[in-house]
Structure 1
Amino acid sequence: MVTTHFNGLTLPRFSCFFDPYEDDLRSQLGAWLGKVKASHLPARAIIAPHAGYSYCGACSAYAYRQIDPTNIKRIFILGPSHHVRLSGCALSAAERYQTPLYDLPIDTKVYEELYSCATFETMSLDTDQDEHSLEMQLPYIAMVMESRRGDFSVVPVLVGSLSPEKEQYYGNVFSRYLTDPDNLFIISSDFCHWGRRFHYTYFDKSCGEICQSIAALDRKGMNIIESMQPAKFTQYLAEYQNTICGRHPIGVLLNAIETVRRNGNGYNLNMKFLKYAQSSECTSASDSSVSYAAGVLFIE
């Protein structure tokens, strides 16, 4: 059980996504992180999946290993809304999140800035409790940031079904935070959800097996994300309808990057995917799978 503090009250928050026992969780995350090389330090933003750790924990480690906690003071977490319809973005009403490792305080000062400069809704308690796209990032954050425990805060942002224009709007809002080395952005997203239960069965037989077609489809999208061109990513989604659940948070990040580059601040931003995985290898129409990818945005 994880608890969330709302307006000074401690409320239960149940999770079936990760082991609630601190020692087991710490050992599990540490083992995955220990197998990955820190090749693109320091990350300015990462893309990490949000399924159960038994499915995507090892993949997530490739993104989280690129975080250098030394100077980080706040971490923006942008996750897609799975349970409520939002036309914009929403902020938490909580004061802090509890994880099995330690509490993560929410940066209320940044929240005040966001409310004052742009349109944001406020998540209800039920919405915040139910949304795993934010929740699944919290233990990994606590693990990699342990040396800065008590010296950093989180900025959870629930991202709705945004139009391209709204992705640009929120990208502009977050662009000024993206250039600050005190900040880190975590974009929570799984990739292709394939199978009849997801109502998505795209299959390019020229690629070979279904799982190979899925990988080729995801790689095409990942290549576009690496090119950091939001309009092309929008076109890709319109053409293939790939069921990337975090497509809107990714779109917000790409637009923030485009704003930074357009303003000509001399930042040499680079995006690279370091790991790709699938929950299972689909070979027949009755199979299903979810894809995971770990990416990093860094400045050279």
Structure 2
Amino acid sequence: MNRQPAVAGSFYPANPEQLHLMLDQFLNDAATNEKVPKAIIAPHAGYIYSGPIAASAYARLKKAHDKITRVVLIGPSHRVAFRGLAVSRSETFTTPLGSVPVDQAAVQTLVQLPFVEYIEQAHTYEHSLEVHLPFLQEMLDSFEIVPIVAGEASPEQVSQVLDALWGGDETLIVISSDLSHYHDYATAQQMDKSTSQAIEQLQYERLAPESACGKVPVSGLLKLARKKSLSVTTIDLRNSGDTAGDKASVVGYGAYVIE
């Protein structure tokens, strides 16, 4: 089985050359850093809206392009309601830049957990994972993914999965989440600043459902980061009013690195 792209041509260019050029521009405009993060939180909207913010996190993988060989990718479900976490039987996930193999052994390990199951319909049209793949393909040489869609799950459940797959320098954790949705510009700025403070302080208990669409996977990562005494830094915080939209009704985007 191969998971075909669902939002190529809408969220990002379907033409490989155009996609490569767009990613290149985003990543070249982003600041890099000597230290490679263990985990990132990055947004998943259309590239014209959130691409520059996501790039600020992905640019920091440059020095690990040949070291990171597995990416654990967790995003929220936008179309299908279910309990727990959903994995896929697909052997590859495809984008206009090519196909990415799935770490089958990791997936088979996860489905032993009572709250993880195969739910193909949770993956088929879900954009929260897909939009990250071209960034990863642009930044990493050769890698496998562990794609997970989060339904109604507890921070403990997500934390347990991440801990099981934590690995070493070869494994990157990517959490997919936007922030506030459809407030005016000033309200969104205030809400997203408060959310970012809670994220930096690892206070996942303070995250309201409306603060981030990826609250479930974000909370699980923060719970585990607290347990492992890691730190979270906000490296970009903007909204669609700053990138490609009007300021009457905006969506917030944040990029965070966990080290």
Normalised by the size of structure 1, how large is the TM-score? 0.78
Question: Which of residues 47, 51, 62 in structure 2 aligns to 1:53?
Answer: 47
Tell me, what secondary structure is at the counterpart of 1:220? helix
Paired residues, what number?
A: 252
Are the aligned partners of 2:77 and 2:151 in contact in 1 as well (CA < 8 Å)?
A: yes
Say which SS state the counterpart of residue 136 (structure 2) adopts.
helix
Map 1:27-46 to 2 at 5 A.
27-39=21-33, 41-46=35-40
CA deviation digits over 1:134-179, x for unaligned, max 9? Answer: 111111111111xx23xx20000001122xxx21133023224335
Counterpart code for 2:51: G
Q: Distance in 2 between matches of 1:31 and 1:130?
A: 27
Aligned amino acid, residue 255 of structure 1:
K
The amino acid across from 1:26 in the alignment is H
AA of the residue aligned to 1:44:
K
**What's the counterpart of residue 141 of structure 1?**
136
2-structure distance, mates of 1:12, 1:172: 29
Amino acid at match of 1:110: A
String of CA shifts for 1:10-61, please: whole Å, max 9, x gaps: x674532111111111111011101122126211111111110011111111
RMSD value, Cα: 2.0
Amino acid at match of 2:197: N
Gaps of 5+ in 2: none
Structure 1 stretches of 4+ with a deviation exceeding 4 A read: 11-14
Deviations 1:212-237 (A, max 9, x none): 232121111111111123xxx32341
1:90-239 equivalent positions in 2, closer than 5 A: 90-124=86-120, 126-145=121-140, 148-149=141-142, 152-162=143-153, 166-178=154-166, 180-195=168-183, 210-229=184-203, 233-237=204-208
Give, in whole Å, the separation in 2 of the partners of 1:194 and 1:13: 24
Tell me whether 1:260 sits opposite 2:228 in the alignment: yes
The answer to whether the Cα contact below 8 Å between 1:171 and 1:259 also exists between their aligned partners in 2 is no
User: Structure 1: which 5+ residue stretches go unaligned?
Assistant: 196-209, 262-268
- Aligned partners of 2:225 and 2:231 also within 8 Å: no
**Identity in percent:** 28
Q: TM-score, normalised by structure 2?
A: 0.90
Distance 1:60 1:192 in 2: 16
Kindly name which structure, 1 or 2, has the bigger radius of gyration based on alpha carbons.
1
